[in-house]
């Protein structure tokens, strides 16, 4: 297992240009922000970027950064948990009353696309962490990073193309069906599933998983299952004045689609791992006779 690596950059300079500032957006439900849902921020591979984050309590209220603040520490690691390397950046306070902090992303983090767990800690003068917050950072594939490695997860735009999940095309919802954090979580899970499925012939993280079409099938199956659970939990058939409304009766169609995509993904795991296992068995054994 790789040793933990900390790449530390100085505190971000205040007032970066808008073109390079990225802010975590809240998921919305009926146009209301869901303040306690995990948030995500997206940047482009190879780009210079400063991210801004509002530190929040479990109930969604901002953490007031009082005089006991010594350092704002941003830490990042691959979302699968396979890689023990941690990239660290020292941030700064933007607005103490609103819990707003920022940091300039290290070049080592944005050189290659990937999906990272983001953890922000606030330390006091003794180095004790007295406040934390978590989220996702997505470094999306592009051609201005490390072009010797063009792997990495599908972009949000690619996934929304497959699902045709854009606001203007969802006539009934009048919104996207999946927010960014749900997409990010669905991206991580297939790689984790691959790593945990025997035999242990190859381990990948979100920066190195090479099987893109199978990966997309798996992501779609996870998302459809998530939506199916939500529709069933919120289903309420209504009948009034001879008019019947059951617009959330979508459990079975969503599950059927999810199972179709999942079957392709499961079959791919089996066949590809058999292929890799067999390829590792070829060789020769020497003899003294």
Per-position DSSP letters for 153-186, written without gaps between them: PPPHHHHHHHHT--GGG-TTTSS-SS-HHHHHHH
Helix (H, G, I), strand (E, B) or coil at 213: helix
Partners of 122 in the beta sheet? 72, 131
Half-sphere exposure of 251 (CA within 13 A, CB side): 10
Say what the pLDDT of residue 282 is: 62
What per-residue confidence (pLDDT) applies to 19?
47
**Which pLDDT score, from 0 to 100, does residue 146 have?**
87
Integer Cα distance of 266 and 225 in angstroms:
15
- Note the residue count of the chain: 289
pLDDT along the chain (289 residues), means of 10: 54 49 85 89 92 94 90 96 90 94 92 95 94 95 89 94 84 80 96 94 94 96 95 88 84 95 96 90 54
Query: In the structure encoding, which two tokens stand for residue 18, read together?
Result: 């808008």
Q: What are phi and psi of 16, to 5 degrees?
A: -80, 155
Predicted confidence (pLDDT) per residue in 101-114, tens digit: 999 999 989 999 99
Q: 199 preceded by cis ω (within 30°)? A: yes
At 240 the pLDDT is 79
pLDDT of residue 124: 93
The radius of gyration of the chain from alpha carbons, rounded to an integer in Å, stands at: 22
Q: What is the pLDDT of residue 5?
A: 56
Can you tell me which residue has the tokens 């509002």?
Answer: 54
Determine the Cα angle at 7 with ends 98 and 2, to 5°: 120
Tell me the Ramachandran region of residue 160: left when phi exceeds 0, alpha when psi lies from -120 to 50, beta otherwise.
Answer: alpha
Domain ranges of the chain: 18-140, 156-279
181: nearest Cα among 159, 203, 196, 164: 159
Is the distance from CB of 233 to CB of 248 less than 8 angstroms?
A: no
Of 117, 113, 120, 114, nearest to 89 (Cα)?
Answer: 120
User: Architecture of domain 18-140 in CATH?
Assistant: Sandwich (2.60)
Return the ∠ at Cα 97 (arms to 91 and 102), rounded to 5°.
20
């Amino acid at each position: 297992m790789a040793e933990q690596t900390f790449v530390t950059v100085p505190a971000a300079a205040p007032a970066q240009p808008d073109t390079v500032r990225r802010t975590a957006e809240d998921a919305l439900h009926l146009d209301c922000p869901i303040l306690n849902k995990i948030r995500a921020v997206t940047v482009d591979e190879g780009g210079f970027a400063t991210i801004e984050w509002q530190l929040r309590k479990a109930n969604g209220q901002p953490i007031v950064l009082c005089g006991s603040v010594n350092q704002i520490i941003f830490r990042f690691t691959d979302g699968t948990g396979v890689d023990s390397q941690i990239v660290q950046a020292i941030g700064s306070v933007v607005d103490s009353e609103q819990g707003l902090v920022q940091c300039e992303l290290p070049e080592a983090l944005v050189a290659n696309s990937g999906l990272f767990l983001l953890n922000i800690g606030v330390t006091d003068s003794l180095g004790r962490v007295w406040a934390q917050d978590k989220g996702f950072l997505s470094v999306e594939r592009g051609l201005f990073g490390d072009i010797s490695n063009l792997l990495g997860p599908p972009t949000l735009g690619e996934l929304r193309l497959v699902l045709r999940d854009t606001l203007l095309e969802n006539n009934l919802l009048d919104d996207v069906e999946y927010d960014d954090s749900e997409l990010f979580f669905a991206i991580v899970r297939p790689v984790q599933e691959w790593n945990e499925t025997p035999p242990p012939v190859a381990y990948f993280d979100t920066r190195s998983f090479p099987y893109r079409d199978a990966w997309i099938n798996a992501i779609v199956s996870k998302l459809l299952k998530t939506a199916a659970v939500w529709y069933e939990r919120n289903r309420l058939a209504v009948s009034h004045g001879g008019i019947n409304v059951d617009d959330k009766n979508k459990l079975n169609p969503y599950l059927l689609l999810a199972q179709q995509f999942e079957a392709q993904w499961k079959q791919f795991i089996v066949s590809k791992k058999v292929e890799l296992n067999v390829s590792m068995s070829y060789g020769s054994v020497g003899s003294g006779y």
